[in-house]
Amino acid sequence: MPHVQPGDNLAELLLAALASAGLALQDNDILAIAQKIVSKAEGRQVNLADVTPGPQAQTIAAQTGKDPRLVELVLQESDGQISRLRPGVLIVRHRLGFTSANAGIDRSNVAQTGTEETVLLLPQAPDASAEHVRQTMQEHFGVTIGVVITDSHGRPFRLGTVGVAIGVAGIPALWDRRGEPDLYGYALQHTDVGVADEIAAAAGLLMGQAAEGTPAVVVRGLRLPAQPGTAADLIRPKEMDLYR
């Protein structure tokens, strides 16, 4: 993939990259796409020089030691709920529903110009972004596929970031397998599989986190139910969250 710029037609770039790799999508393939190239194409870069922090951002910046302009962006991208804050840490509930550090705002793999830092926000509507790419691919190849937009998230009780799905189209995000028998005939009682997150994590092994330059991965061979879902399906409802 080339370096994606604001306003680029991401679907066309992906088609060109697939052709360059000698790949033609097949029925039931899943195209996993790194969030960063989606955000870049959608113009979600923000130069901190253009941000004016408000009083709440100034207060939180003093508590966390973070740039108050970054904190202002975090607050704008959140739904107003701060999960945890301490020096160096600001975890909020994003407006899309998930809880993450700095509302998913990042500067890694973001080209820097000028003297002020440029950061990248998450896509406005990643499910819709995934569906747009899916429709373009299906029309081009004449197949039925799924699309997962991935991001890297930390976890509250385990070290290390893992890939998770923040945008889903054409596949179930959550696969309800309750009632199916196990090897010994026992009917599964509580088995909801976060299949979109599993796909994102698997794709992340190939995408990498640094300078690998592989922001899209074709996942082939999965057989999933024909139950399209969205990334919102993966968000645990507040009434079921014992740790909130």
Residue-wise pLDDT tens digits, 142-162: 999 999 999 999 888 889 989
Q: Report domain extents, the chain.
A: 1-41+123-235, 45-121
The answer to whether the predicted template modeling score (pTM) of the entire model surpasses 0.85 is: yes
- Which burial class, exposed, middle or buried, applies to 89 when counting CB atoms under 10 A from its CB (0-12, 13-18, 19+)? middle
19: which 2 tokens? 């052709």
DSSP letter assigned to residue 48: G
- Do the domains 1-41+123-235 and 45-121 sit in the same CATH topology, yes or no? no
At residue 236 the predicted structure's pLDDT band, cuts being 50, 70 and 90, is: confident
Smallest Cα–Cα separation from 41: which of 146, 128, 123? 123
Predicted pLDDT of residue 55: 95
Smallest Cα–Cα separation from 38: which of 191, 172, 173, 168? 168
Question: CATH fold of 45-121, please?
Answer: CofE-like fold (3.90.1660)
At residue 114 the predicted structure's pLDDT band, cuts being 50, 70 and 90, is: low
Residue with tokens 């926000």: 121
Helix (H) or strand (E) holding 118: strand 118-120
CB 82 within 8 A of CB 64: no
Angle 68-77/55-64 helices, nearest 10 degrees? 120
- Which burial class, exposed, middle or buried, applies to 10 when counting CB atoms under 10 A from its CB (0-12, 13-18, 19+)? buried
Smallest Cα–Cα separation from 170: which of 150, 147, 203? 147
What does the buried/exposed string (b/e) look like for 30-41 if buried means 16 or more CB atoms within 10 Å of the residue's CB? Answer: bbbbbbbbbbbb
| CA 39 from centroid of its chain's CA atoms | 10
95: which 2 tokens? 């407006």
Residue with tokens 């796409």: 33
pLDDT in tens, 188-229: 887 788 999 999 999 999 998 766 789 999 999 999 988 889
Predicted pLDDT of residue 166: 96
**Residue 116 phi/psi, 5° resolution?**
-100, 150
Predicted pLDDT of residue 210: 65
Residue with tokens 């607050």: 75
Average pLDDT over residues 95-115: 82
Angle 126-141/10-20 helices, nearest 10 degrees? 50
Q: Which CATH number describes the domain made up of 1-41+123-235? A: 3.30.1330.100
